[in-house]
Amino acid sequence: MRVLDGFRIGPAFAEDRTGTFHKAVQTRLNRPVTLKILTAEVRDDARARELFLEERGIVSGLEHPNVLLTLAVGEVDGLPYVVTESIADATLEDALGAEELPSETTAVAIATGIARALDYLGKRGLIYKNLRPGNILLPRPAAPKLLTFRNVRAVAEAPRFRTAPVQSGAYCAPELVRDDLGPVTIKANVYALGGILYHMLAGAPPVDGSSAEARAAHAAGRLRALKDVRPFLRDRAYATVGRLLSHDPAARPGPAEAVAMLEEYANDPLVTNPLRTRRKKRRR
């Protein structure tokens, strides 16, 4: 493997359209990190290089406690690279696959961190392309971090999300399917956040079926009411999830209002005894 000053580079563990991901160690701090480098196979592909540099330029300017931090950028052997915090942590998807779901307080804390990240992105004219549990790292139980590379884009690119469906169907905002609901904005991310909070509280997303079926259900407003799935939660839980999942984007809060709502929820004196739910084991 090529040598990069200040880093000890390990084996590749993933790749996408433009680059290869490697586990690495920042030697000065003995800290695990992740390196993404343009693949040699597309070295002379002008479009691939352009995409890599464009994406790198976006993520390298982000600095927020709930967004994966970029540590270094550069070029080695003619190949551009970017170094971020480690992405080897467990994800929210892993947590949702466990037998015991996150407690109510943990779920709200995770949702609050995500909302803060969305507010940060929105104020910079950015939008998250595919907000789903698998793209949310949990280095600590209630301290989420959004994966950035390939996911953070300029809001001006959001209309393309309709023609090339990128948002997971389980959390897809109606306006990503129906153009009669207005333009795609950061509020589409707020809707996905509502779907994720619903999933954390209920143990499943608000719609069933394939990605296409789920998108159609969101577009039509055919969601399972959280109260039908979890009838003993607080009214605040139903109201908060309901606002975040408002079918009409105009009725949906923006990220800053979502942060305020979730902080108020977290600080509610009644939210003192976490509600825990164990999954029922399926009979074989």
Q: What is the DSSP string of 129-167?
A: S---GGGEEEEETTEEEE--TTTEEEGGGTTHHHHTT-S
Mean pLDDT value of segment 1-19 = 81
Encode pLDDT of 155-211 as tens digits: 998 888 887 778 899 999 999 999 999 999 999 999 999 999 999 999 999 999 999
Encode pLDDT of 247-257 as tens digits: 999 999 999 99
What's the CA gap between 68 and 149, in Å, rounded? 9
CB 79 within 8 A of CB 69: no
Closest CA to 110 of 65, 64, 142, 66: 142
**Cα separations in angstroms, 110 against 13, 34, 106, 201:** 27, 23, 6, 12
Encode pLDDT of 213-227 as tens digits: 999 999 999 999 999
Domain 92-266 has CATH 1.10.510.10: yes
The residue extents of the domains of the chain are: 7-85, 92-266
Between β-strands 19-26 and 70-76, what pairing exists: parallel, antiparallel or unpaired?
Answer: unpaired
CB 193 within 8 A of CB 114: yes
Tell me whether the CATH fold assigned to 7-85 matches the one assigned to 92-266.
no
pTM higher than the cut 0.75? yes
What's the CA gap between 12 and 25, in Å, rounded? 13
CATH topology of domain 7-85: Phosphorylase Kinase; domain 1 (3.30.200)
What average pLDDT does the chain have?
89
